[in-house]
Amino acid sequence: MNNAFTTISGAKRHNRVTISDMAAALGLTKSTVSRAMNGYPDISETTQLRVKRMAEKLSYQPLSHAQAIKTGRTRSLGLILQLSDHDAQRPFLAEFLAGVSAGAHNEGWTLTIAASENHEDMIETFRVLLRDGKADGFILPRAMRDDPRVRLLREAEVPFVLFGRQDDDTDCAWFDILGEDAMRNAVMHLVALGHTRIGYINGGTQYAYAGLRKQGFLQGMADAGLPIDPDLIAEDAVTIKDGAEAASGLLDSMHPPTAIVCAVDFAALGVYRAAAERGLTIGRDLSVVGYDGIPEGAHTQPPLTTFSVDNKSAGERLSNILIRRIRGEDLTNLRETDMATFLDRGSTGPAPSSKN
Amino acid sequence: MNNAFTTISGAKRHNRVTISDMAAALGLTKSTVSRAMNGYPDISETTQLRVKRMAEKLSYQPLSHAQAIKTGRTRSLGLILQLSDHDAQRPFLAEFLAGVSAGAHNEGWTLTIAASENHEDMIETFRVLLRDGKADGFILPRAMRDDPRVRLLREAEVPFVLFGRQDDDTDCAWFDILGEDAMRNAVMHLVALGHTRIGYINGGTQYAYAGLRKQGFLQGMADAGLPIDPDLIAEDAVTIKDGAEAASGLLDSMHPPTAIVCAVDFAALGVYRAAAERGLTIGRDLSVVGYDGIPEGAHTQPPLTTFSVDNKSAGERLSNILIRRIRGEDLTNLRETDMATFLDRGSTGPAPSSKN
DNA sequence: GGCCTTGCCGAAACCGGTTTCGGTGATCAA
DNA sequence: TTGATCACCGAAACCGGTTTCGGCAAGGCC
């Protein structure tokens, strides 16, 4: 540890253009350059223009961590991924990251991420990143109902944006996909195929999306004038195994469904498994609709009919919203939604004629 | 937990313990505190201990971006993900990130990542991150033969670590899984089952691993005294589709193989598809061995026999190596390897008796 | 014409660290 | 005793920015 400071030569001290270089080149002082760059009102229009032109010419960019020492802000977004739950987040991670990164990069921001195993680590990581000013704001994937991260960030008065909506929206910026619309459309699609006994397998009820999607399903059933059979509704299925177990419950009930809507694709794959065990052919004996658009869904037999989410675009918009939030934009402009895209593949078909 | 909020909040930065607080509390000057914290030799043992104890007590941590302004180093690792290439690295991304993040976090470092779409963007991103000192070093996943990233970082004299080995090792730190051993073991496993006509489907030949794994396969064949049939060797299959096409080529050749070794799990899944098209049952008519341990492999029928890679551990070790490299540790200590774990599942079986 | 704004910018302090330089007091050889 | 050496630490400059404060000239008002 004693010789810890004899390090490899860091980045070549490229003659980076500093604010002093700018000042010298313009015949101004550092302070004027700084205020011009930051658009202070006490700098004349013409001077500001001169400065910015020169910045362009010399390709001057203030060093973010030099600014940070005074301002506390470092032009970087924080993203904390919780990886303990093997949830549906993983297949999208690459796209999502690509989007978030692109959104940040577009504005000249960077992205610092921390992946934590469990909840305690995640909170601790938040603390450290906040304390050390490693991020000016946070993107919170997978909004939970009564989210502890939200409480923490609110308390600390740190900007954040949710992927998903929360019950208590006050001072929350968010972006979300209208999963409830998708669920309702799923029901309508099945009804059009003649199904009347439609089951529903919900996702993790700790997450905000579950309530919404379930509402969407119920709404669809109501719209179609179909009754709700509590035996045909399951909760908390986020893995294939969960889905298989939930589906088993529905299929072994007194009056099994002819179709099942799943809040999560993995659960839908579980339905495949449960169906196979019972000799049921998906798309003929049993229709299944999923949600998420995971890649595996394209390779199953038959391919899964589902709603696909553009996670890259979601990430990009989240970055964008967060940056605007940090810049102090009004909250009302910082709540956006998008729709999932229906992929009509092979896992749905006409309701089998009842020959029970 | 409650009082931690107030000290942690980013908005209320004035609570943060600075070096001046330390100096005041100790009756020393800032400079002494700084040198003590950094282990300079001109500070007495006892003073250094006093300082470090006080740091512990006040939980003082130098602000990394305040240090960076003078030292240029910010205690953060850079990771640039290229997402243009197909699903190749996606399934591992979550684990890999978790590992990298954990490895960084353990040492009090952070992780800034950038995901780029194409090669040009990636190079550009490198440049920006370097210029702005956003990362003290980089982790390069997927080492390529004659890697342009390596050239760039060498040029800039910036520390980096490769995931994978390169032809030209000079001044490279790296970590790698011994894929060649796995391929050789795959051959031995099949030979033990009686196979003699064994095909090989290689991965992306632009990557360094492809050459190594192919060598491993050839070595295994040589060890078993089996001849190499060029018709049974395909290259550059990294997706299911690639794998299916390559497998079709092998299976439709004059003397089709009874077993196929794949450098990449996705290719192996392609073999499943090609086999299905020809009415061949995997594990009986045709044996398949993959490599990677992607989750999908566990859900196929039969489950794929493969070599699984612990990507989380890999990420963690890469972080660790990079940090040591940045600290100036000798290169000879910074080259590590690990083994893949053989998962003997259902896709291999005894060689079918030749009834051609 | 004098006084008070107002617009615009320079001077200097400041942020939280690091690093150079120099100055003690103690030790030690002569 | 003296002069030189050394271990240890303080003073101050510095890094690349931001921000406060104040000065100066031009313009408005009476």
* Residue B20, pLDDT above cutoff 60: yes
What is residue A133's DSSP assignment?
Answer: T
Tokens of residue B339, six digits: 């083994």
Tally of CA atoms within 13 A in the half-sphere of A169 that contains its CB: 11
Q: Does B64 touch chain A (CB under 8 A)?
A: yes
Tokens of residue A136, six digits: 């000016």
Rounded CA-CA distance B173/B161 in Å is 5
Is the separation of the CB atoms in A294 and A272 below 8 Å? Answer: no
Q: Are residues A239 and A334 in the same domain?
A: no
* Chain A nearest CA to B125, separation (Å): 9
Average pLDDT over residues B254-277: 96
* Residue B10, pLDDT above cutoff 50: no
Chain-chain contact of B10 with A133 (C-beta, under 8 angstroms):
yes
Chain-chain contact of A115 with B94 (C-beta, under 8 angstroms):
yes
Helix axes A89-106, A311-326, angle to 10 degrees: 40
The residue type of B238 is: V
Report the residue of chain B nearest A13, measured CA to CA.
Answer: B72
Q: Does A152 touch chain B (CB under 8 A)?
A: yes
Q: Is residue B202 part of a domain?
A: yes
Average pLDDT over residues B46-58: 96
Q: Are residues B201 and B303 in the same domain?
A: yes
B105 contacts on A by Cβ (under 8 Å): 114, 125
* Residue B85, pLDDT above cutoff 70: no
Rounded CA-CA distance A83/B123 in Å is 29
Lowest mean pLDDT among A89-98, B10-19, B113-122, B317-326: B10-19
Task: Mark the ranges of chain A whose per-residue pLDDT is less than 50.
Answer: 1-13, 88, 355-356
Option in A74, A91, A156 nearest B5 (CB): A156
B73 contacts on A by Cβ (under 8 Å): 7, 10
Q: Are residues A86 and A127 in the same domain?
A: yes
Rounded CA-CA distance B261/B102 in Å is 34
Q: Which helix (H) or strand (E) holds A289?
A: strand A287-289
* Residue B71, pLDDT above cutoff 50: yes
Option in B69, B76, B102 nearest A66 (CB): B69
A contact residues 80-139, partner B, Cβ 8 Å cutoff? 81, 83, 89-91, 93-95, 97-98, 100-102, 105, 110-117, 125, 127, 129-134, 136
What is residue B264's DSSP assignment?
Answer: S
Q: Is residue B70 part of a domain?
A: no
Q: Are residues B125 and B218 in the same domain?
A: no
Of residues B294 and A202, more confidently modeled: A202
Q: Is residue A42 part of a domain?
A: yes
Rounded CA-CA distance A137/A129 in Å is 10
Rounded CA-CA distance A79/B323 in Å is 22
Nucleotides of C under 7 A from a protein CB: 7-20, 22
Could you read off the pLDDT of B194-252 as tens digits, one per residue? 999 999 999 999 999 999 999 999 999 999 999 999 999 999 999 899 999 999 999 99
Q: Are residues B315 and B173 in the same domain?
A: yes
Report the residue of chain B nearest A154, measured CA to CA.
Answer: B9
Tokens of residue A340, six digits: 């999932």
Helix (H, G, I), strand (E, B) or coil at A87: coil
Is the separation of the CB atoms in A183 and A220 below 8 Å? Answer: yes
Domain holding A168, by residue range, is: 76-177+311-338
What is residue B10's DSSP assignment?
Answer: S
* Residue B6, pLDDT above cutoff 60: no
SS3 labels along B176-216: EECHHHHHHHHHHHHHHCCCCCEEEECCCCCEHHHHHHHHH
* Chain B nearest CA to A225, separation (Å): 38
Q: Are residues A300 and A248 in the same domain?
A: yes
Q: Does B70 touch chain A (CB under 8 A)?
A: no
Q: Is residue A4 part of a domain?
A: no
Q: Are residues B91 and B156 in the same domain?
A: yes
Is the separation of the CB atoms in A294 and A303 below 8 Å? Answer: no
Option in B40, B90, B296 nearest A94 (CB): B90
Option in A8, A115, A116 nearest B325 (CB): A8
Average pLDDT over residues B188-197: 98
Indicate the average pLDDT of chain A: 91
Q: Which residue has the tokens 């450098």?
A: B263
Chain-chain contact of B158 with A2 (C-beta, under 8 angstroms):
no
Q: What distance, in Å, lies between the first and last C-alpha atoms of chain B?
A: 74
Q: Is residue A352 part of a domain?
A: no
Is the separation of the CB atoms in A243 and A262 below 8 Å? Answer: yes
* Residue B57, pLDDT above cutoff 70: yes
Q: For the domain that residue B192 is a member of, what is the CATH number? A: 3.40.50.2300
Q: Does A328 touch chain B (CB under 8 A)?
A: no
Q: Are residues B20 and B117 in the same domain?
A: no
Q: Is residue A183 part of a domain?
A: yes
Q: Are residues A197 and A288 in the same domain?
A: yes
Q: Which helix (H) or strand (E) holds B55?
A: helix B45-58
Residues composing chain B: 356
Rounded CA-CA distance B306/B348 in Å is 10
Rounded CA-CA distance A193/A346 in Å is 13
Helix axes B30-37, B19-26, angle to 10 degrees: 100
Chain-chain contact of B76 with A5 (C-beta, under 8 angstroms):
no
Q: Is residue B348 part of a domain?
A: no
Is the separation of the CB atoms in A215 and A237 below 8 Å? Answer: no
Closest CA to B101 of A76, A114, A122, A128: A114
Tokens of residue B310, six digits: 């612990």
Dihedral pair phi/psi, residue A144, rounded to 5°:
-110, 155
A112 contacts on B by Cβ (under 8 Å): 76, 110-113
Q: Does A74 touch chain B (CB under 8 A)?
A: yes
Rounded CA-CA distance A288/A301 in Å is 12
* Residue B293, pLDDT above cutoff 90: yes
Which residues are CB-contacts of B296 (< 8 A; sequence separation ≥ 6)? Answer: A296, A299, B91, B265, B269
Helix (H, G, I), strand (E, B) or coil at A260: strand
Residues composing chain A: 356
Is the separation of the CB atoms in B116 and B83 below 8 Å? Answer: yes
Helix (H, G, I), strand (E, B) or coil at A47: helix
Option in A9, A63, A115 nearest B98 (CB): A115
Long-range contacts of B158-162 (CB under 8 A, 24+ apart): B158/A10, B158/A11, B158/A12, B158/B130, B159/A8, B159/B322, B159/B325, B159/B326, B160/B322, B160/B325, B161/B137, B161/B318, B161/B321, B161/B322, B161/B325, B161/B334
Tokens of residue A259, six digits: 């179709």
Q: Are residues B173 and B185 in the same domain?
A: no
Q: Is residue A12 part of a domain?
A: no
Helices and strands of chain A, counted as H and E runs: 12, 12
* Chain B nearest CA to A214, separation (Å): 28
Q: Chains A, B: CB contacts under 8 A, how many? A: 191
Q: For the domain that residue A46 is a member of, what is the CATH number? A: 1.10.260.40
Q: Are residues A223 and A256 in the same domain?
A: yes
B contact residues 208-237, partner A, Cβ 8 Å cutoff? none
Query: Where do the H-state alpha helices sit in A239-283?
Result: 240-251, 265-277
Count the domains in chain B. Answer: 3
Give bridge partners of residue A233 from the DSSP assignment: A200
Query: Where do the H-state alpha helices sit in B107-159?
Result: 119-131, 148-156
Q: Are residues B184 and B297 in the same domain?
A: yes
Is the separation of the CB atoms in A340 and A308 below 8 Å? Answer: yes
Q: Which nucleotide is nearest to A34 (CA to C1')?
A: D18
SS3 labels along A179-208: HHHHHHHHHHHHHHCCCCCEEEECCCCCEH
Specify which residue's alpha carbon is closest to the C1' of nucleotide D7. B42
Of residues A17 and B127, more confidently modeled: A17
Dihedral pair phi/psi, residue A176, rounded to 5°:
-150, 155
